[in-house]
Structure 1
């Protein structure tokens, strides 16, 4: 079990106060409450956790050997109940919500931390602690920390994320870029100081990881390329671009040099072009990532090139 940090405890107590104010205050109070929820994703997560903590309070009390009473009034076929806990260690009235709420929150949720890495010679897929899934290219890695109020991932290399929707925000940091998501399929690639983000479905914000300033909010089917202080948005076939997680490389009229480099990156096996001029040949089609010979046979059938297997991988030359 985990203990909320002082910042988390303070935000939980603030959420409890807002909940009480919204339930028993004026319409102006409820409008202010809605505005507070929209300020930050963490506010929504805190409120969700507060409400779950209130519902879980009787079980939390029983787990600690405390007494709980649940007087219920039946009206028009519906049961209305208000839990009241007795005991020196727990109090959930709004005036003393902070300590009690933190205790219940710690009882209802763990802090999970994971470190996952793909081998150098093949891709890998992992289930994250929150039920999301990540696909990593060879040699890539992620570290995930899921706390009471957020889910934070740090990426090295390239990964595609299929995020489970819930109130806690999900954020992927790669270099100076943070991608904030709430239930989406997207990919992030970090290479040589450059970051590329592709959105397949859902909605994301791309932020500066230091200042929090929003850089871009792409639509599904768009790619954002970030380097230095420049962000470039372009349309992309997201289904084709992310097909690598299914073991397929979809090529749409690209130079042989780029396709060979991408296939080598995804398979972990080098493909060397002995004549730089053949790198300009245009290639298209769908290929199995684990079968470089299929790809090279297709290229050799179209162009005057040949290939051979070497100790290090493959090499392609003009015939």
Structure 2
């Protein structure tokens, strides 16, 4: 008999053979397997509703569940999974079900669940409390295996858009020494380690942000709060929230930002590298605009025309310089 995961994939992807259908029916007679399949199917169906994500090989993403396992010690293990994008992303949401790939059962209080997106990929996950998180490229999110039981803490590095369900337990996004407390809401957080700003933009509901040693700051819908890691200063502005969550629809928004910021976004999105010659060029020239579905070279062409620049290409590496 095939492994149950192979059979579940065949059923969900509508490629099951008569033998696989028979084996599936046998599995469904077992209470644990029935419960497991229903959880997987729910996540699969959720992921199929997500629009504007690039499609990847769903089967490869399905089996990426066990792609990387880090053993901290015999009793404490941390499961690190690499998320794909598109419909396939939903498959990865099952990692909270530790029995899924034949993995050993774990003491949930000793485990963390980690999702990562690689450069050039995005994904969407559903947390155990049914909250949804869209992950931009090169992003990691982590939560304890007992999430939803004793707490609703997540740990973010990168960029994510959150739709948080209401609960008596507070939902907290942890970013180094920052805490964003959520009160049932929709908001975007950008907190890449190599970016100068940590930015949070609220679309609906209410959130607060607090850095260790500072007072709690509350954010209202339509507000963007930035924290400058260099100057250690917060700033609060009124904005259009969709400009900051537009990456979910393949859009990039720039508001008088240095070209170096745009370069970082392009590098994460398209898995390329961009350098400026001289290096200070990336900080000296600022740009405003919105890009939607353009290729990396189409974006660079537009920037070059508007800013009097030119670029050369060598494989996936681009060098931008003045004309």
* Interval of TM-score (by shorter of Structure 1 and Structure 2): 0.5 to 0.7
Q: Does 1:181 align with 2:182?
A: yes
Tell me, in whole angstroms, the C-alpha distance in 1 between the residues paired with 2:178 and 2:245.
Answer: 20
Q: Does 1:248 align with 2:247?
A: no
Alignment match, 1:296? 300
Aligned residues: 208
Structure-to-structure mapping, 1:207-246, within 5 angstroms = 207-208=210-211, 214-226=215-227, 227=229, 230-246=233-249
Residues 308 and 322, structure 2, Cα contact 8 Å, conserved in 1: yes
Q: Which deviates the most, 241-250 or 274-283?
A: 274-283
Q: Does 1:283 align with 2:284?
A: no
Structure 2 stretches of 5 or more lacking a match?
1-107
Q: Does 1:170 align with 2:174?
A: no
Structure-to-structure mapping, 1:130-209, within 5 angstroms = 130-145=129-144, 146-190=147-191, 191=193, 195-208=198-211
Structure-to-structure mapping, 1:23-38, within 5 angstroms = none
Alignment match, 2:312? 308
Taking structure 1 as the reference length, the TM-score comes to 0.56
Tell me, in whole angstroms, the C-alpha distance in 2 between the residues paired with 1:231 and 1:303.
Answer: 30
Q: Which deviates the most, 280-289 or 154-163?
A: 280-289
Alignment match, 1:274? 277
Helix, strand or coil: the match of 2:219?
A: coil
Distance 1:250 1:225, change over 3 A: closer
Alignment match, 2:87? none
Deviation at residue 255 of structure 1 after TM alignment: 3.2
Deviation at residue 118 of structure 1 after TM alignment: 0.7
Q: Does 1:317 align with 2:321?
A: yes
Distance 1:314 1:288, change over 3 A: farther
Helix, strand or coil: the match of 2:119?
A: coil
Deviation at residue 214 of structure 1 after TM alignment: 4.8
Tell me, in whole angstroms, the C-alpha distance in 1 between the residues paired with 2:259 and 2:197.
Answer: 22
Taking structure 2 as the reference length, the TM-score comes to 0.55
Tell me, in whole angstroms, the C-alpha distance in 2 between the residues paired with 1:297 and 1:256.
Answer: 13
From 264, 268, 272, the equivalent of 1:261 is 264
Alignment match, 2:10? none
Structure 1 stretches of 5 or more lacking a match?
1-109
Tell me, in whole angstroms, the C-alpha distance in 2 between the residues paired with 1:208 and 1:274.
Answer: 36
Once superposed, what is the RMSD of the aligned Cα atoms? 3.0
Q: Which deviates the most, 215-224 or 121-130?
A: 121-130
Deviation at residue 177 of structure 1 after TM alignment: 1.1
Tell which structure's C-alpha radius of gyration is larger.
1
Deviation at residue 149 of structure 1 after TM alignment: 4.6
Helix, strand or coil: the match of 2:216?
A: strand
